[in-house]
Amino acid sequence: MIQYSETGTVAESGDKVCGRFSLFDLLSVAVRYNINLPGWVKPRYNIAPSQHILAIVKDKGSFRPVRFQWGLIPFWAKEVAPASLLINARAETVDKKPAFKQSFRRKRCLIPADGFYEWRKEGSQKKPYRIKLKNDGLFAFAGLWEKWVTPQGKVIYSCAIITTAANELVKPVHDRMPAILAGEEQEAWLEAAAVVSDLKKLLKPYPAELMSSYEISATVNSTKNDGPEILKPVDIS
């Protein structure tokens, strides 16, 4: 696959990190952020890049739900092809790369989820795993958003998920994982006056002892499959 690199040039891309996730516990979202969810928000079990997703921003001191395309388009982009969307930003360089540094300072968001998927390479096969909190609770990815205007004048709002080094639970599956924010960290991430050094401290591996993972079927490989059957563990007995 070809994609824009973080510097805006075209480069070969490798395997994506956090290329799929789920969000089906909508009641917890509404309660956690004290919001009314818009009608387009539905339970999702296999959310994929380029699709529209729910994100949370702060507006006049209150949380607000917004609809973003997953795959950030830098504001300075001349034109964009679907394969060029930037779905992830590396925590280590997010404040320096041209595609992300302005959003990192001014346009941060939360992307609520209740699980995500990674693929473990075993020989010639890749086996999918579901990764979640042990208590099955809601969490949020650290996200960035951007506004892009097409040459025809159409406005597109897009976002990316920030990734960091994998914790001990995720490491056997992938060497990186999404940056997960919990509790007061979510408030701090959306704080408009936050300084770069404080924000960067939030982008650390989530504690492995609070998470669990299990192998699921290859049903998740197709984005056409978006039902609760995806969550079922593979029977390895």
Residues 45-72, mean pLDDT to the nearest whole number: 96
For the chain, give the percent of residues with pLDDT over 70: 91
Active site (annotated) includes residue 109: no
- The CA angle 28-23-42, to the nearest 5 degrees, is 90
Determine the average pLDDT of the residues in 2-8. 35
Exactly one of 6, 92, 109, 118 is catalytic; name it: 118
Are 7 and 99 within 8 A, CB to CB? yes
Can you give the CATH number for the domain in which 193 is found?
Answer: 3.90.1680.10
Q: What average pLDDT does the segment 146-171 reach?
A: 96
The catalytic position among 18, 109, 146, 185 is: 18
Cα–Cα distance measured from residue 145 to residue 104, given in angstroms and rounded to the nearest whole number: 8
Q: According to the model, what pLDDT value does residue 80 have?
A: 77
11 belongs to a structural domain: no
pLDDT, averaged across the chain: 90
Inside any domain, residue 9: no
Say what the pLDDT of residue 31 is. 97
Does a structural domain hold residue 28? no
- Residue 201 structural domain: 35-227
Summarize pLDDT for 83-102 with one digit per residue, the tens: 678 999 999 999 999 999 99
Active site residue 118: yes
Question: Residue 22 above 70 pLDDT?
Answer: yes
Count the domains in the chain: 1
- pLDDT of residue 4 exceeding 60: no
In the predicted structure, residue 2 carries a pLDDT above the cut 90: no
Q: What is the amino acid identity at position 89?
A: A
Asked if residue 14 is part of any domain, the answer here is no
Residue 20 lies in a domain: no
Question: Are the CB atoms for 1 and 83 separated by under 8 Å?
Answer: yes
Q: Evaluate whether residue 69 is within a structural domain.
A: yes
Asked whether residue 228 carries a pLDDT value surpassing 70, the answer given is: yes
- Judge whether residue 81 has pLDDT over 90: no
| DSSP β-ladder status, 155-165 and 62-70 | parallel
